Each structure stands twice: as structure tokens, then as C-alpha cells.
Amino acid sequence: MQTLKEFKNMSDRFYFDGDFHKSESIEGFKVIDPATEVVLGSVLETTNSEIDMMIDRSNTVQKIWWKDHSAVDRAHKMHEVASKIETMKHLLAESLTREMGKPYKESLDEVDWCVHSLRYSAEIGRSDMGRVMGPAVSGQFHYTIKQPVGTVAFIMPFNFPLVLLAWEAGAALAGGNACIVKPSEYTTLTTLLFAQAFDHLPKGLFQVAPGSGSVGDYLVKHTDTHGVAFTGSIPVGRAVSRSCGDLMKPALIETSGNDPFLIMPSATLDIAARAAAFSAYMNCGQICVSAERFFVHEKIHDQFVELLVEETKKIRIGNGLDKVDMGPLVSSKERDRYESLLSNASNQGANAIVGGGRPAEFNQGWFVEATVLIDCNSEMDIFNNESFGPVAPICKVSDFDEALTLANNSKYALGANIYTRDLKESIRATEELDGGMVWVNAPLLDNDAGPFGGSKMSGIGRQLGPEGIDTFRETKMIMIDPESSSQDFWWFPYADEEMYSNEK
């Protein structure tokens, strides 16, 4: 009941200067539990004047955060944030499950991931502030320093609203920046609760501006925000990228995925089937790196399909606060979109051998069944668009090379999976599969110390690792001559003997 009380307290608020304030807006929307369709609270659109106030405060306090706090001070403050998140673990997990539907176990994991990601960023942010290089001129000192871009706007998705924010804002804060967050409409109240963990930081350094796309658009186009991190759809990501380009504003863009999953004859098939089910159905398939295109070698196709169907039938569906493996989709709108995608796949010849509909036992909530589609080919729409739902479409291939070719024949390139025990196939897959991450027999794992991101239409830039922090920093080149000596080798007047002469 504490969570429901907190939702009430967070409703219609924005987080400014270390406290919650009720918006003056008259526009907003209700927050609905996707498992029960019960109204949990409400959100008001942050007004432009309220956003202006936030940006002004962010730019003031950011300079204090960078100039008046040492790298050690900043690291200690971020560790305090991580420690407070640990104390809020169960509250945050329950609120996340209630607001967007994922199983409580997945919500607990997400909060844990926030903690160790923030701790990593805290330390990596002070371990590398630039580098020293050999001088181009003897006796000089040449080096670089890394400095913050300023105030960064974060446009967040609903599927992993806390950990993606911890990845991005953690990196930005460690790099000396201020943060203004525009949460997803589907996870606003949880994000506001999460903001309480940042109260150890200087007031105004971390702020939350709830609302719809217009709030994000205003933040992106504002001349006094200095960087943007966006996670969402391709059309919006392209619009954000264009706006940032017009302002010469650095942007991290993470858009859609349509990840391939290759299964070769040497794979341990029972493990591969379990991995496939997890990769397709985790978070009800609402993951940018979900496995969405399965390419299975013809020699083991039928056996693999049989094993995957068995695993699919084991999936327990229901309210994420119960003992389940998969909750509902996040909204009725998302369910309508997903069901339309399945219907289209069926019309194009795909055959749902398990799932394909809604669980009969629920008369409320936006539940769907985990689904396996066979008789698919790579020309089908479902193989060329992000499904973002619990479906495993399977295409039979004749060999590794065909699987590789079809996997890369996509406008997306976020991640890619392969199950094989063949070393040559493993090495070729890591080098030849398109994408920012390749998982060999280890699907969907992240590592705080390694970069996350894609290419093609899946986005620009990287999160996590040293690359993630550098996303929110600018590198400045410094050259010092401590002797302030004359540099006659290239100053005026030029030596006569170096002037042009037509003599041979």
C-alpha cells in the first residue's frame, strides 16, 4: 500500500531544485496499471515556463558541481545515490511492476543494475580525465582534458526506465553535467520516485519534467540545453537528431532493434531453446535487444522448434506481482499494435504453432500469449520491423552463410545472437554480424565496463564503459611552452632560404 500512497503523492508533480512541485498545467493524462486497468495516479504536462526554470537552475548548479567539487567528491556523492537506491529497492521494484507490468523479479533486477552501474560510473568518471602525449615541440607539455558539455536532456523509454536512466544520467553526472529527465508517459511516477535517491546531490543537478512528446521536444530544441540522450522510435530519433544537428548539439540516439538469433547444428539445442525463449519473451518482448528474427539451420530446425514450443508453453503469464514469468504489454495501444503485427504475419503466410492470441483466463489487463511462428521468410514484414512483443518468428536456412547474409539484410543493427559450438562460426559471427553487440551463447547480457549501442537505423553513440561517459564530455587539447620561447621554425619573418626559387 505504500507504493499506491507514493503514486498519489507523486501525481501531477514535477521534480525541481530538490523538491516536488505541482504543475500549473491543465493538460495531462492518467496512469493505468496494465495488469488490472486500475488508475494509479495522474500526470500533468510540465509547462514551458516550468522547464525554463529548470534549465536555468541546472545551468547554475552544474558549474558548482564541476568547479567546486573534486572528482573524488563527485564520486562519493554518486555512491551515496547508489546506496539510497539500495534502500528503496523494494519500493521501486513494486512501483515499476505496477506502472509498466514487468514481473517483480525483473523489476528487482533492474534496480540492482542501477546500483552497480552508478557505482561504476562514479569510479570511471574520476579515473580518466584526459591524457598526456609526446609534445610536437621539444620542451613543451601537450595533453588533453575532458570537460562536461553542460546540461543534458534525457528522453526516456518505458521498457527499462530506471536502468537506462542510471546508465545515461550516471555517466553524465560522473562527467560533471546536470540532468533534466523527460520520463516515458508510461513510467513517470516510478521515475519521480527514483528521483528521491538523487537528493544527496546539489539541489537542481537532477530534475524531472513529466509530460508527453512536446516536453521532450522543448528540451531538445532549447538553446540552453547542451546535450541530448534519446531512446525511442526511429521517426522520433531522426527528428531529435535533426534538431540537435541544427544546434550543433551532441546527441546519443538509441532507436529500434530487430535482432537476429542464429542457431547452428553444433549448438546445445536444449540450452539454445531456453535462451531463445528468454531472449524473445523477457519483459513481454519489450526490449530493444530482444531476439526478433530466428534463423535456424535446416538440419536441426524441427528439433529446435519442438524444444522452443515446449519452453514457450512453460511461460507463466499474469500480474507481475504474482509468481509469473511474463506480465502484460504496457498499454492497450501497444497491444493493438502488436496484434496487428501478428495478424499481418499470418496473412503473409506465418503459422502460429503456439500462442498467437490473448490468454483466455484474463478479462482485464493487456495480456498476450508468447508466440512461436514458423513457415516464415525474411521478406515478411515481421522480419523487417521491430515487433516489441513476445513473438519468435523462425526462418529455416541451409547453412551458416545464408543465416549470416539474412541476419545482416536489415536496416537495424543493434545486437545479434548466435548459438554454436563451432569456433570458426563463433569468430566469423563476432566479426561479420552487423551490430554494436554480438552474443555467442550468452544472449542479452550487459557489462557496465563495455559499450552498448548500435549502428544503421538503430542509433548513434554508445552507453556504458568509458565510451558512455565520453558521450557527455568534450575533449580539449592543451599545449604549453613553459619557457615561452621563440618558435622561429614557423613564425614570421620566414627565412629567405625557404622562399620559392625557380632555380633548379
Distance of CA 385 to the CA centre of its chain: 18
Domain limits, the chain: 2-255+458-477, 259-454
- In this structure, the chain runs to a length of 504
**What burial class does residue 466 get, using C-beta atoms within 10 Å of its C-beta: 0-12 exposed, 13-18 middle, 19+ buried?**
middle
- The residue with cell 530487430 is 258
C-alpha cell at 434: 552487423
Q: Among this protein's residues, is 298 annotated catalytic?
A: no
The two most distant CA atoms of the chain are separated, in Å, by: 96
- Transcribe 285-296 into DSSP letters: G--TT-EEEEEE
Which one of the listed residues 114, 244, 288, 376 is annotated catalytic?
288
pLDDT at 444: 96
**Cα separation of 325 and 112, whole Å?**
18
**Cα separation of 179 and 55, whole Å?**
9
Listed residue (189, 190, 207) closest to 198, CA to CA: 207
Question: pLDDT for 343-363, tens place per residue?
Answer: 999 999 999 999 999 999 999
- Transcribe 120-167 into DSSP letters: HHHHHHHH-S--EE--SSTT-EEEEEEEE-SEEEEE--SSSTTHHHHH
**Cα separation of 169 and 62, whole Å?**
13
pLDDT at 501: 84
**Cα separation of 502 and 504, whole Å?**
6
Q: Are 196 and 88 in contact (CB under 8 A)?
A: yes
Which one of the listed residues 106, 110, 185, 254 is annotated catalytic?
254
The CATH number of domain 259-454 is 3.30.470.30: no
CATH topology of domain 2-255+458-477: Aldehyde Dehydrogenase; Chain A, domain 1 (3.40.605)
Q: Among this protein's residues, is 288 annotated catalytic?
A: yes
Count other Cβ atoms within 10 Å, centred on residue 451. Answer: 17
Low-confidence ranges of the chain (pLDDT < 70): 503-504
C-alpha cell at 265: 547444428
H-helix or E-strand containing 102? none
C-alpha cell at 460: 548513434
pLDDT at 504: 56
